[in-house]
A and B are shown apart, each in its own frame.
Chain A
């Protein structure tokens, strides 16, 4: 267990010292959201209508942006080989990487999402729902993404393939996430949507690490 936390800490330290990764995905997220008012026009009613969807899609895309680096850097400098030889099970390595990825490249988005939501004139209930839904749903993005990242690791054009593999599997999260926000805006109960999101996340927690570990073993064999 100590090794597990040490690995998370190592990835966090690496991310903190490099610095650029966090700010890059954050600025990507903000720019994508900013593009939408420019694209569809500044009417607040339209923006409030499409706001939840825009924020969720932007979160999906910026998650995808950092996903291919999840194992790639460690694979290239050989530390992944050492980790796999070490006593920590591969599934736990994947889980540690997933947690580190979520903390470094998705949590900042969730922190800034309420501000962007307000700028898209999503009402207060919706902002709260959006933050909760993002917190409950986004772990799935990292978990399923880990499978894709492990499969495409070491490929020449892995990034493009990764998006084709992973995005269709993200659809349930997108749908339930947006549904939760829409329900909150319409003053309907949002708990069922959040429960479904949580269910999807828990399912991904079971399937993701096992599949990603199998893919990692395959890529390194």
Chain B
């Protein structure tokens, strides 16, 4: 395991491997997104209560999945970067953060767009909404740490420490917000849980989830590549300045 990690930590090899994966991820994203959108917007039946509004869910739920998954991934790669000092792992965590923040934002926006016709208001202090909002702030804090250090090596370590403290806290926050919600308001809001999800809805949902994942891989590869190139450029510029 450790040996494998070291092998992939070499930026050059990393770039070579991702260059091979990249076209596949693009095609997979296009294919899955088109078929997922078709399935969810045209094939899936409208809900008997919510009508066509239920289709927002196919955009919303995978975004929420991705928001949590990306934070976990960030924490894992931060830990790898902190323990084995692999710069690529740090850069991956850095590159993933804005994507995760965007997915969190998407989940929040689509959630409130769904809430307007369903609950009659754009925002409800529901446990899920609140904990997603807090997750958004965690992403913002993580990105702010990266920007407030001049030295990228220091920034990487500081951000990694923050991500790890954050990931310990995420379940606690989630639990406490659930607890707070059940104390302060009765469960009048969570109408999502109805009968078990039927396969006609589950399949588009899963396809959309996979499409989002492929999209994430695609954007992540672009961003990590940009980070690596930026760092090389920096090294080149510094050495050029020294030669003068």
Contacts and interface: CB of A to CB of B under 8 A. Distances in A.
Q: Of B141, B175, B180, which is in contact with the most chain A CB atoms at under 10 Å from its CB?
A: B141
A97 B161 CA distance: 19
Contacts of A171: 134, 173, 176-177
Contacts of A158: 148
Contacts of B165: 144, 147, 169, 207, 211
A218 B169 contact: no
B164 A175 contact: no
A176 B179 CA distance: 8
Contacts of A14: none
Q: How large is the interface on A (under 10, 10 to 19, 20 to 34, 35 or more residues)?
A: 20 to 34
Interface string B154-192: 100110011011101100110111011001000000000
B145 A151 contact: yes
A169 B179 contact: no
B214 interface: no
13 contacts: A144-B165, A151-B158, A152-B148, A161-B141, A165-B141, A165-B144, A165-B145, A175-B177, A179-B183, A207-B165, A214-B161, A218-B157, A218-B161
Interface of B: 134, 137-138, 140-141, 144-145, 148-149, 154, 157-158, 161-162, 164-166, 168-169, 172-173, 175-177, 179-180, 183
Interface of A: 144, 147, 151-152, 155-158, 161, 164-165, 167-169, 171-172, 175-176, 179, 182, 196, 200, 203, 207, 211, 214-215, 218-219, 221
Given A158-B148, A172-B175, 18 more contacts: A144-B165, A147-B162, A151-B145, A151-B162, A155-B148, A155-B149, A161-B141, A164-B137, A164-B141, A164-B144, A165-B141, A171-B173, A175-B177, A196-B176, A196-B179, A215-B161, A218-B158, A219-B158
